[in-house]
């Protein structure tokens, strides 16, 4: 069974179950195989107002997206044996609609190809940020996403 089939089967099997209750804060999926990078990104995300869920590989991404509704994701393109492009494919299959920010040490051509792949899969791709990550820029982008989520939620609650 390939990754695509495994994702489809897992998604179908868990579809009847309600996702875990949402926090009052937006949730972000931080995908990076390096623990140090995940920790730093999670700290920046917390300062921007997010609750972080970490994923170090494709399996953790699949589990995370089955259990949570994320409002943003950061994605490193090299995940050990797997590529970040497989995560983009999974996001497309499961209907992930939140902004995705590629954080990659890969050359700009690789990041651009992954960005374009995400766009072709109808994903909500934000401009990539090169590693080493400009933490101020990342916080600025995440803060904008969190504020937009809060405004949308306040509007929905008021209606």
76 in a structural domain: yes
Residue 15 lies in a domain: no
| Residue 16 is assigned to a structural domain of this protein | no
- pLDDT of 4 reads 77
Domain count, the chain: 1
CATH number of residue 121's parent domain: 3.40.50.2300
Which domain, by its residues, includes 124? Answer: 26-158
Q: Which residues neighbour 47 within 8 Å (Cβ) at sequence distance 6 or greater?
A: 139
Residue 89, domain member (yes or no): yes
Q: Identify whether 61 is part of a domain.
A: yes
- Contact between 75 and 103 under an 8 Å Cβ cutoff? The reply is yes
In a domain, 17, yes or no: no
Residue 43 lies in a domain: yes
The confidence score (pLDDT) of residue 14 equals 62
Whether residue 4 lies inside any domain: the answer is: no
* pLDDT for the residue 21: 46
Cis previous bond, 108, omega within 30? no
Along the 159 residues of the chain, how does pLDDT read in single tens digits?
A: 777 787 777 766 665 444 444 568 999 999 999 999 999 999 999 999 999 999 999 899 999 998 889 999 999 988 765 688 999 999 999 999 999 999 988 778 888 999 999 999 999 999 999 989 999 999 999 999 999 999 998 888 886
CA–CA separation, 43 and 46 (whole Å): 5
pLDDT of the residue at 145: 97
């Amino acid at each position: 069974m390939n990754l695509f089939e495994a994702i489809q089967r897992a998604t179908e099997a868990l579809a009847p179950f309600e996702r875990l209750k949402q926090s009052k804060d937006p949730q972000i999926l931080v995908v990076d195989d390096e623990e140090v990078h995940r920790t730093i990104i999670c700290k920046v995300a917390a300062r921007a107002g997010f609750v972080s869920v970490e994923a170090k590989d494709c399996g953790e991404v699949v589990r995370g997206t089955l259990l949570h509704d994320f409002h943003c994701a950061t994605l490193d393109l090299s995940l050990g044996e797997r590529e970040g492009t497989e995560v983009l494919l999974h996001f497309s299959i499961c209907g992930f609609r939140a902004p995705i920010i590629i954080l990659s040490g890969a050359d700009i051509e690789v990041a651009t190809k992954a960005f374009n792949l995400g766009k072709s899969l109808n994903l909500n791709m934000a401009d990539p940020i090169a590693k080493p990550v400009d933490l101020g820029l990342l916080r600025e982008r995440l803060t904008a996403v969190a504020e937009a989520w809060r405004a949308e939620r306040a509007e929905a609650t008021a209606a």
